[in-house]
Amino acid sequence: MDQDMFARLAYLALLLVAVGGWLIIDLRRNPGRSLQQAAIWVLIFLGVVAAVGLWGDIRRDIAPRQAVMEGGRVELPVAADGHFYLLAEVNGVTVRFVVDTGASDIVLTRRDAARVGLDPDGLSYFGQANTANGRVVTAPVRIAEFALGGIVDRDLRAVVNGGEMDGSLLGMAYLNRFSRLELSRDRMVLER
């Protein structure tokens, strides 16, 4: 046993003597209240141990994440709002997309377009799209690289929405690159 280990052991022994001594004195004065407080501390300790042990499951339920597997398989869990979200590297920048089977194209918000190196103010907005919020103008662009884990596509067509959007959309132009799209209540599976 080295000196560091001995010092730790001595500290723990001293702490145990101090807490144990206080507990014995307190038990003699008011046993009911002392046992109640001890039970509360034991429950707090057990709760913390359970939370640490189950943290992976808790995090997976609260904030599920996508999984990109070997062989071109992508699994997307449903989010709390009922949508499927996909994180992809667009020109080296992580962009969060709402997977939208009702959208035709890859649609970038003006903000995301600027983040990935496109100039939204310098684009020509001559296209149009019909959305749930009405007709909007769009500008055609090319995405140099779209990476989803080991799945990399280059020179993809996309559009930048001239209107306000909460987030970028991943439409059928990209989803059709997969040979299989399976949708269940809690998961979307894409396979190439």
- Are 95 and 127 in the same domain? yes
Domain's final residue, options 26, 61, 96: 61
Alpha-carbon gap, residue 25 to 23, rounded angstroms: 6
How many structural domains is the chain composed of? Answer: 2
Domain's final residue, options 46, 61, 76: 61
Alpha-carbon gap, residue 2 to 188, rounded angstroms: 55
Domain harbouring 145, CATH code: 2.40.70.10
> What's the pLDDT score for residue 181?
92
- Are 80 and 151 in the same domain? yes
> What's the pLDDT score for residue 121?
93
Contact 75, 69 (CB under 8 A): yes
- Are 88 and 118 in the same domain? yes
> What's the pLDDT score for residue 60?
58
> What's the pLDDT score for residue 59?
60
> What's the pLDDT score for residue 56?
66
Q: Which residue range(s) make up the domain with 45? A: 3-61
- Are 134 and 49 in the same domain? no
Contact 146, 174 (CB under 8 A): yes
pLDDT in tens, the chain (192 residues): 688 888 888 888 988 888 888 878 887 888 888 788 878 888 888 888 887 777 766 665 665 677 777 778 899 988 888 899 999 999 999 999 999 998 999 999 999 999 999 999 999 999 988 877 788 999 999 999 999 988 999 999 999 999 888 899 999 999 999 999 998 888 899 998
- Are 71 and 138 in the same domain? yes
Domain's final residue, options 45, 61, 77: 61
- Are 176 and 83 in the same domain? yes
Alpha-carbon gap, residue 126 to 185, rounded angstroms: 38
- Are 72 and 159 in the same domain? yes
- Are 102 and 144 in the same domain? yes
